[in-house]
Structure 1
Amino acid sequence: MSPEPPVLSVVVHGDNVQDHLPALLGSLDAHPLPGTEVIVAAVGDWAREAAEEHAPAFTVLPLPEGTGDAAARAAGAARATGRWLHFVHAKDGLPPGGPHAVAERAAGLPDPVDVLLFDHVHSTWRATGLPSPDGPRLARAGRAALTLDTCVPLLALSPLLGNRAVRAAFWRAHEEVLTTDDEEFAAQAALLLADRVACLPHPALEDRGLRPESLPGVPPGRHGAVIDRYERLLGLAAGRPAVHGAVYDLMLRDCLRTFARSTMPERAAREFFRRASAAALRHRPEGHTHPAGFEGVRRSLLEEGAYTRYRALQSANRARREVRSALRTGRRHAVARLRDQGYRRALARPVDPRLAVFSAYWARGVACNPAAVAAKLAELAPHIHPVWTVSADNAALLPPGTDHVVPGTPRYWQVLARARYLVNNVNFPDAVVKRPDAIHLQTHHGTPLKRMGLDQMPYPAAARGLDFAALMERVDKWDYSVSANSHSTRMWQRAYPSRWTTLDHGYPRNDVFHTAGADEVRAARERLGIAPGHRAVLYAPTHRDYEAGWTPRLDLAALADRLGEGTVLLVRAHYFHDGAAFPPTGPRRTGRVIDVSSYDPVEELCLAADALVTDYSSIMFDYANLDRPIVIHADDWETYRTTRGVYFDLMAEAPGPVARTQEELTELLAGDAWRDERAEKRRAAFRRRFCEFDDGHAAERVVRRVFLGEDEASLPPVVPLADRTPAPRPEEVA
């Protein structure tokens, strides 16, 4: 006897956009779902990896990268065995109890009911769980099975496939019509084709709205798709006056919204308005009336094809809003007016195609990825002139001959206004204007273990003082984002959702770890005063958001004393803690503890060190390129993970042995565990994951792609990890 088919098949489909899929699948897996099966039509490797963590509880259908939503839904529906189908996009979520409520309601519905409508909540990057406007309409409809003709207000529900379940037999009977990438059409067409519908005034979907700035722009010719959609829907509503009238009103509303909210060129805007007007006249129901007020005027002008008068109405309305806004904000801008006058004059001049502005760590100096890019630029594109932004305090430390500007000075604003290229490992100030013909290159300054960008919002200690709206406005100026590995690529997509292009080229600053030879390693050690044959351990702790200031995590004098005369500790505080002096100690005076917090570049410290000790600093990802021992000192992992948030469990995936106390760290370094076979295996796995694109040619790839405009396919390919030769270890060059 065959088993009873499940009541409901939840078909999760799509790619793992901005890493929302794991939370969705995790919520489904966390609660038992009697009478429900889960099918995951996973598009691309990232979605497949996330889905396979929940197999075999869920059925996973791997689909190629680029598979459209319609094809993914069709693949999931083909494998589903439930009597009802609930399509949930991978970007969305399911409130607790949602699937159970849908399955329970669907199980009791009679056969004539083809569509079950339910409520949803809405989330954005700013807020979660916002109520939808659909609840009251669903509540008024009651629990009885209805025909759409007797309850046309249901057509005004949010047109999402995720806020309705469909009978599987009904879906398959109309699959040719419903299988389309236009989700709004499919959602509305399902209602128009249904024999009966039923309602459930219970939220069973979290509709996650992605930042519009992170979505591909709509080409001007594609705006007409909304007109095509409604012409098809009106065809399905033919012969049903009440339904036809409701669809007609929705068409006018959505056409006007599309026109008002898009930035179509004038010619495309006129053509859209003409087409929308023709459709409105062609389908206008006899005796149809418009709502009163401003909305009625807008619809009448559309039906008349009165483009010029409609634009005039728009302009007058916009002017009223701008006057009110100016009155509110005028005083705030008075202080910046003098600066803006000079900056605006510079912005009126043409962009200089031979000018590049570089900055690192909030204008601290020539450092990090921007410095490596600038060095390679001088070699491959010497016609481009680099100018560094450097604070007045750090200007004296610049290499001789470095052209630079101090933030806030007139020349600072002039070069920012006219530069073709702007390169930074953080962000430029909010006031910097993104010119259409300028290129912003974001290099970042580490691989993320800790939560970054929007992912900091749920963590008060990390989010303290951050203006996330302003942050995203800065992110929207990026054209390119450099990445060292697939993990970073994916995390930047979720932390900084916008339209920038990822450069999976590696971190330019890490090139030196593959290009340096024995002479460079020896010279770095000599500059630091490390005697031949002595072991140098680089200790580089990170910043803690939950601490008011810098707190030493180790008794360095005691550690140096226990490790003996043959070990030197190179101690580097995080750059957030300028001036945080280490207490003078006996070992420090004898050269066994060396404060290298102000030593630049940090890459030289890595070349000089036999081993790295760190906690949660991103330096571990860079140092791993050298294939030298790494030890993690994690005395406060639980507190750090809770207050800052992390992207993976470092304790399970560390690049070497983990010490939770100073005593454990001392024992590791005093014996052989810091570099034994087990440590090498952990480091090898870590390098495979996080040293993916760092092969010594990252800066060249970035310069050729961004500054010389070369095609991606023509760039030097990434050298496989097994074929790379890191800089020699200190014991090899002693």
Structure 2
Amino acid sequence: MPMLSIVLPVYRVQAYLRECLDSILQQPFQDVEVIAVDDCSPDHCGAILDEYAARDSRLQVVHLTENVGLGEARNVGMRHVTGEYVWFVDSDDWIAPGALAAVADRLRSVRPDVLAVDYAKVWWNNQSRRSKLSQLVRAEALPKVFTLAEHPNMIKLFHVAWNKIFRREFLVQNKITFPPGLYEDVPVGFPVLILADRITVLDRVCIYYRQRRQGAITSTPGYRHFEVFDQYDRLFSHLDSIGERAEPFRSLVFERMMYQCLLVLENPDRVARSHQREFFAALAKAFNRHLPAQGYTRPQGRERVKHLLVARRAYTVWLFMRMVFGLRRKVEAKVNQVKRKVRLRSRLRMRYYRFQLRRPMDENLAVFSTYWGKGYGCNPRAVYEKMTELAPAVRGVWEVKPGEEGSVPPGVETVTIGTLRHYQVLARAKYLVSNVNYPGWVVKRPGAVHLSTNHGTPVKAMGVDQLKFPAGIKGMNMNWLLKRCDRWTYSISPNAYTTEIWERAYPCGYETLEVGYPRNDALANATEQDVAEARERLGLKPGQLAVAYLPTYRDYEFGSDALLNVGRFADQLSPETMLLVRVHHFDRTIVGGDHPRVIDLCDYSRVEDIYLAADVLITDYSSVMFDYAVLDRPLVIFAADWDAYRANRGAYLDVFAEGPGATARTEEELVDLFRSGAVFGDQATSARQLFRKRFCYLDDGRASERVVRRVFLNEPVPAPPETGAVPVVPAEQLQELRSVEDDSQLPDPPTVDDEANLSDAPDALVGR
């Protein structure tokens, strides 16, 4: 029997689930079991749980066939528990390092009915704040073990389940279960303290309580928040059944009810203004229904006034008071807004843009953009070309920078950025399509559709995850970045791995289109003739071996040996080998590029030609590895600065352990890979097949069609191809692949598990 059982209800948390599981299973304390209840989650949570369960026998997964809600999911998990103590953990939170051992030590030494632990709130922008438990503990001068009767002020402990560990027999004997509905902790959190004969508090942060920017039910307005009254009805009914032991705490519980319900009422993310009067009336009824016959005294200060207004059902007075209390904040915000508007209105073109916003929206106009107007390509190009085929009624216009007009094929309509016509089409188009973000001043009109196609599968940390790696941010304003992303209606994802990361790194309200990358349709559908034509366009001759080198951008200080010296490398390969070199468009440095067998393709607009022409690809942390893998050709990872890169920029993928082929840390190792033939060997091939199965299973050549049908034709997303692929790491295959390598040569696994897209410069950095 394990010392500790952790019950983990799981629903729509794919972006955070790995961090939660890792925080439990990677701790040194091993005497723990995890009962994960997949509450019929519609995303990839079930697959992620199965992946972890295949690697760690301490994790047991229960898959439910219908969604039952958090409370009942906990009850289901409880039925599978075998441990002496139970901890109900929410699957978007995570356990602090060392917390399990500290909890176990306290449990062993005290053997309590209830152990309360401290927690810290952590917001999406990495700001955090510890709870007030320490203040309460110091104020009460708590002994190691106590009862609520001895310290009644401890009723103020946050009444949720996840900040407490319970003795399993204590829960069973007292028939403690969770009710259905929202605020399910209310009927449980208070009675367990009243009934416990032995309570102890661990004054240490043991759990991090994630404050999600979007997506949490507790921050989604709606009638479900009225369920708080049902839960307090259940609570007071439970107090009645407890009887005399509960009576001394009835007034304290009543005060907590008022405190919580008023917080819910005053939070517009829970109770919309249109529902405030109704919620206030329901609170007034609950006030009169549960008002204790004795022991209740109104609190002091502002809270006293609120209680009085609720008791008298004086909603209008309460509303006026709220307006007065918030007046100063609103005035300050208005002043700042006016200042911003004054700056905008001073520009004639912006006035023109705002004038155009008042004109009717063109339902059949779509504006396309690639890399802030740098020509015609990437995912937007593939979507545009399929749109002209399947939705010909929609007129597409490409925005391009001045001087880039010639980079767009004949017959494709363009508009030059900065012209009055550019402001006009941006203001009136229903559809805005880009692989990066439009500028912050662009307004998303009601009914407009913004499609973020993105432009790479993430390897490096991006979005909110970059806050953990300040060396790569360089002045990025994350608030403004996310406000731009808030405009997205749809966001394209090439696979489950990317979907999971982007939900965490870009916590906004878009609909994810997990359909594959449109730009890779050209690779999946490529013919021998396409390959021959691409090689001819790049000047390659028959019989030449084409090796492409496409490294990513380094947004931190790095040594000169981080990038490959392509001239020196070419000298050590056969004379028939040509190097196709294209560095990131933020970096134009090619080390050793003046070699006769090195072709500089930095200004070549169509990277797909390089993919098709290349027999082998060398890269490091660039997303090009995922695109090139569609062709099922040899890939090599050359990552000389891996340790520095992941420390400074962060990485989601261990490119040595999870990469698509042979790997090298030095130029000498890279040369040996080619001379020995290891680049084309069985081990490299096995790694590539596993990589393709994990990341390329949606690349069937129809991603563009799936996007166009959903976005422009308003059809449901077509079913993905039946490939038999798995969207998560197949544990047994990954372990087998790793086992053939010398473990001592492998880097430590990355400590981060997040990433995503970007916005317009300079607020974000391109992830290629």
The question of a shared fold, defined as TM-score above 0.5 by the shorter chain, is answered with: yes
1:437 and 2:447 are equivalent in the alignment:
yes
How far 1:507 moved relative to its partner? 0.2
Counterpart in the other structure of 1:536: 546
Counterpart in the other structure of 1:334: 342
Pair 1:28–1:332, CA change in 2 (3 A): same
Q: Aligned partner of 1:119: which letter? A: D
How far 1:631 moved relative to its partner? 1.9
Counterpart in the other structure of 2:227: 225
CA distance in 1, matches of 2:280, 2:424: 41
User: Aligned to 1:99, what secondary structure does the other structure show?
Assistant: helix
CA distance in 2, matches of 1:400, 1:258: 58
Q: Which runs of 5+ in 1 are unaligned?
A: 723-734
Counterpart in the other structure of 1:299: 307
CA distance in 2, matches of 1:121, 1:342: 48
CA distance in 2, matches of 1:324, 1:390: 39
Residues 47-102 of structure 1 deviation map (CA, whole Å, 9 limit, x = unaligned): 4245326523x242342485643344334333333332222222222234433333
> Following superposition of structure 1 onto structure 2, how do residues 269-288 of structure 1 map, counting pairs within 5 Å?
269-286=276-293, 288=296
CA distance in 2, matches of 1:511, 1:405: 27
How far 1:372 moved relative to its partner? 0.6
Counterpart in the other structure of 1:356: 366
Quick check: 2:534–2:613 contact (8 Å CA) kept in 1? yes
Q: Please, which moves more after superposition, 218-227 or 23-32?
A: 23-32
Q: Please, which moves more after superposition, 445-454 or 209-218?
A: 209-218
CA RMSD of aligned residues (A): 3.0
How far 1:576 moved relative to its partner? 1.0
CA distance in 1, matches of 2:480, 2:215: 15
Counterpart in the other structure of 1:585: 594
How far 1:708 moved relative to its partner? 0.7
CA distance in 1, matches of 2:119, 2:93: 11
Q: Aligned partner of 1:224: which letter? A: F
CA distance in 2, matches of 1:175, 1:440: 51
User: Aligned to 2:547, what secondary structure does the other structure show?
Assistant: strand
CA distance in 2, matches of 1:618, 1:80: 42
User: Aligned to 2:468, what secondary structure does the other structure show?
Assistant: coil
Counterpart in the other structure of 1:319: 327
Residues 558-579 of structure 1 deviation map (CA, whole Å, 9 limit, x = unaligned): 333333442222111111125x
Counterpart in the other structure of 2:646: 641
CA distance in 2, matches of 1:293, 1:242: 24
CA distance in 1, matches of 2:526, 2:160: 56
CA distance in 1, matches of 2:595, 2:649: 35
How far 1:190 moved relative to its partner? 3.8
Counterpart in the other structure of 1:614: 619
Quick check: 1:358–1:424 contact (8 Å CA) kept in 2? yes
How far 1:671 moved relative to its partner? 5.2
> Following superposition of structure 1 onto structure 2, how do residues 360-379 of structure 1 map, counting pairs within 5 Å?
360-379=370-389
Counterpart in the other structure of 2:120: 121
Pair 1:533–1:131, CA change in 2 (3 A): same
Q: Which runs of 5+ in 2 are unaligned?
A: 39-44, 726-768
Counterpart in the other structure of 2:13: 17
Pair 1:79–1:552, CA change in 2 (3 A): closer
Q: Aligned partner of 1:663: which letter? A: E
User: Aligned to 1:516, what secondary structure does the other structure show?
Assistant: coil
CA distance in 2, matches of 1:129, 1:95: 13
CA distance in 1, matches of 2:440, 2:211: 23
Quick check: 1:390–1:407 contact (8 Å CA) kept in 2? yes
Quick check: 1:15–1:47 contact (8 Å CA) kept in 2? no
CA distance in 1, matches of 2:198, 2:404: 69
Q: Aligned partner of 1:500: which letter? A: Y
Q: Please, which moves more after superposition, 329-338 or 475-484?
A: 329-338
Counterpart in the other structure of 1:727: none
Q: Please, which moves more after superposition, 662-671 or 116-125?
A: 662-671
How far 1:546 moved relative to its partner? 2.1
Residues 699-722 of structure 1 deviation map (CA, whole Å, 9 limit, x = unaligned): 00000011111123xx26425279
Q: 1:38 aligns with which of 10, 33, 39?
A: 33
1:244 and 2:250 are equivalent in the alignment:
yes
1:677 and 2:682 are equivalent in the alignment:
yes
Q: Please, which moves more after superposition, 447-456 or 668-677?
A: 668-677
Pair 1:360–1:463, CA change in 2 (3 A): same
CA distance in 2, matches of 1:331, 1:357: 30
CA distance in 1, matches of 2:639, 2:29: 38
Pair 1:269–1:139, CA change in 2 (3 A): same
Pair 1:650–1:281, CA change in 2 (3 A): same
CA distance in 2, matches of 1:537, 1:133: 60
> Following superposition of structure 1 onto structure 2, how do residues 519-530 of structure 1 map, counting pairs within 5 Å?
519-530=529-540
Percent identity for Structure 1 against Structure 2: 38
Counterpart in the other structure of 1:728: none
Counterpart in the other structure of 1:211: 212
How far 1:691 moved relative to its partner? 0.5
Structure number with greater CO (CA < 8 Å, separation at least 6) is 2
Quick check: 2:6–2:32 contact (8 Å CA) kept in 1? yes
Pair 1:38–1:204, CA change in 2 (3 A): farther
Quick check: 2:356–2:428 contact (8 Å CA) kept in 1? yes
User: Aligned to 2:88, what secondary structure does the other structure show?
Assistant: strand
Q: Please, which moves more after superposition, 414-423 or 284-293?
A: 284-293
Residues 144-203 of structure 1 deviation map (CA, whole Å, 9 limit, x = unaligned): 654435544323222221211222122123446435464432542443652435231412
Residues 354-383 of structure 1 deviation map (CA, whole Å, 9 limit, x = unaligned): 122222212222221111111111111111
Counterpart in the other structure of 1:202: 203
Residues 644-674 of structure 1 deviation map (CA, whole Å, 9 limit, x = unaligned): 2211221122222223332333343345332
Q: Aligned partner of 1:338: which letter? A: S
Counterpart in the other structure of 2:661: 656
CA distance in 1, matches of 2:476, 2:83: 46
Counterpart in the other structure of 1:627: 632
Q: Structure 2-normalised TM-score?
A: 0.84
CA distance in 2, matches of 1:62, 1:705: 33
Q: Aligned partner of 1:38: which letter? A: E
How far 1:698 moved relative to its partner? 0.1
Q: 2:262 aligns with which of 252, 256, 271?
A: 256
How far 1:618 moved relative to its partner? 0.9
Counterpart in the other structure of 1:730: none
Quick check: 1:624–1:630 contact (8 Å CA) kept in 2? yes
Pair 1:605–1:258, CA change in 2 (3 A): same
CA distance in 2, matches of 1:560, 1:32: 48
Pair 1:634–1:429, CA change in 2 (3 A): same
User: Aligned to 1:162, what secondary structure does the other structure show?
Assistant: coil
Pair 1:292–1:68, CA change in 2 (3 A): closer
How far 1:18 moved relative to its partner? 4.7
Q: Aligned partner of 1:324: which letter? A: E
How far 1:696 moved relative to its partner? 0.1
Pair 1:114–1:615, CA change in 2 (3 A): closer
Number of residue pairs matched?
707
Q: Structure 1-normalised TM-score?
A: 0.88
Q: Please, which moves more after superposition, 646-655 or 67-76?
A: 67-76
How far 1:25 moved relative to its partner? 4.1
User: Aligned to 2:572, what secondary structure does the other structure show?
Assistant: helix
Residues 109-158 of structure 1 deviation map (CA, whole Å, 9 limit, x = unaligned): 47xx6323232222222236631112222334412654435544323222
Pair 1:372–1:161, CA change in 2 (3 A): same
Q: Please, which moves more after superposition, 379-388 or 341-350?
A: 341-350
User: Aligned to 1:473, what secondary structure does the other structure show?
Assistant: helix
Counterpart in the other structure of 1:725: none
1:82 and 2:83 are equivalent in the alignment:
yes
CA distance in 2, matches of 1:140, 1:164: 20
Counterpart in the other structure of 2:158: 158
How far 1:227 moved relative to its partner? 1.9
CA distance in 2, matches of 1:149, 1:721: 60
CA distance in 1, matches of 2:570, 2:582: 15
